[in-house]
Amino acid sequence: MKIIVGEWFRIPQVERDIFRSLVREARLQYDKTRGYLASSETDLGLMTTILGNALKENVVVMLKCFICGTAIECEECKYKDVCRSSQIFQSCICKNCDTKEEVANIYSMRFTELIG
């Protein structure tokens, strides 16, 4: 199962205790209509363990590229061993954008766009 930080996702119904742990302890947001949301406040390490045990499948967490919005698989990153999984970053940059020469300027421009 792949979970993208900042995007709503759904899982099959889980027991009350598991739901409680996901929302209270791993700090996943829950909305009846939209499902679950992993945000910058979420303890992704704990969420992955709880979901992995409950759903009996491998849970992969992905971040969005701040520049192009593509989902990035952290497993492929050379820095995955130093990235903290308990408090994940709000976004990152993908391989493709990283190779652009003016990446720092593009990053700044993207933020300017968001400020509006």
Partner 1 sequence: MWVENYRPTNPNMIIGNEETRLNFITWLKKWQKKSKASLILGPPGVGKTTLVHAVAKDLGYEVLELNASDVRTKTKLEKRLGPSRINSTLFEKKILIFLDEVDGIYGREDKGGIEFLLDLIKSSRNPIVMVANVEENKKMIKLIKSTQVFRFQRIPPKLLEMVVKNILRREDRTINQVKLEMIVRDANGDVRAAVNSAQVASSGNEDLISELRDTQISPIESLKIFFDSSTPEGAYLALSKCKMQPRDKVRAIFQSILSAKLDGKKMIEIMEELSKADELVAKIGKTQNWTLLRYFDRILANSLFPALKDTQVRYREQSLPWNLQLRIWNDRVPLRKISSSLAIQYHLSSKDATLFYLPYIVLLSKLKNYEKRIIDRLRLDESSVKFLQKEAKKVSQEIRKN
Binding site for partner 1 (CB under 8 A): 17, 20-21, 24-25, 40-41, 43, 45-46, 49-50, 53, 66, 77-79, 81-87, 89-93, 98, 103-104, 107-109, 111-112, 114-115
**64 within 8 A of 91, measured Cβ to Cβ:** yes
Cβ closest to partner 1, residue 1 vs residue 40: 40
CB nearer partner 1, residue 34 or residue 108: 108
Smallest gap, in angstroms, from Cβ of residue 4 to partner 1? 15
Structure tokens of 78? 């050379």
Residue 25, SS3 per DSSP:
helix
How far apart are CB 79 and partner 1 at their closest, in Å? 4
Compute the distance between CA of residue 63 and CA of residue 67 in angstroms, rounded to an integer.
12
Give the whole-angstrom CA distance, residue 55 versus residue 98: 34
At closest approach, how far in Å is the CB of 42 from partner 1? 12
Query: How big is the chain, counted in residues?
Result: 116
Question: Helix, strand or coil for residue 47?
Answer: helix
- Nearer residue to partner 1 within complex by CB, 35 or 85: 85
Closest distance of CB 62 from partner 1, Å = 13
Paired with 73 in beta bridges are 62
